[in-house]
Amino acid sequence: TVVRISAPGTYTLSGKLDAGQIAVDLGEGAKNDPNAVVTLILDGLDITCPAAPAVMFYNVWESDTPGGPAGANVLLADGSQNFVNGSHTEEFDGALYSRMSMTLGGTGALGITADNEGLCSERHLTVNSGDITIASGNDGINTNEDGVSVATVNGGHLRITVTGETGEGDGIDSNGWLIINGGTLEAFACADSGDFGLDADLGVQINGGTVISSANPAADAGL
């Protein structure tokens, strides 16, 4: 079962889906349209997809401003408990995945379980708030445009554990920058590989918040 969202707007999602996907696709022209914005409010969502990302943003507006407004938005409703259990395909690695910049926030809770990567964006990713737990077989969070992507943590409580089904994985892996301005972040890399709790190609900036990070002893750099 695929729940398809093809128009801009705010959508509240609740209930249980055992084998399916939420797919947001506003069309190829959406990338350059600042009105092509979708906000998903998770309010008691429990979704499992055994063969692909469980929540997938294909085409929405692409913002060039790291940490700013985005075309793909996920909000955790106040007091809600939400679960996203996802897999991956050859091109899309994460259980909750966006091809465009994405923001995540709200006052509820989100648990992400992934056989490969957990929370992924191909451009920028900003976490503003929320109680977020990620258990992933590879990178817990990945922003993957080389030399461009910025992963920003402004608040919330993130607990990331790489369970290592793939034999590797960083807690957070940014192919650009990782910037931490606030909140509490716990990031634990795969215990069986030379990976890092925090890994960013261009550097890690910690301006505030509380950060706990662990890497395998084989790792010879990073945090």
Low-confidence ranges of the chain (pLDDT < 50): 219-223
Residue with token string 């550097």: 203
| Phi, psi dihedral angles at 137 (to 5 degrees) | -80, -20
Indicate the DSSP class of residue 218.
T
Contacts of 91 (CB under 8 A, 6+ apart): none
Residue 38 to residue 32: CA distance in whole angstroms: 14
Indicate whether this model's pTM tops 0.85: yes
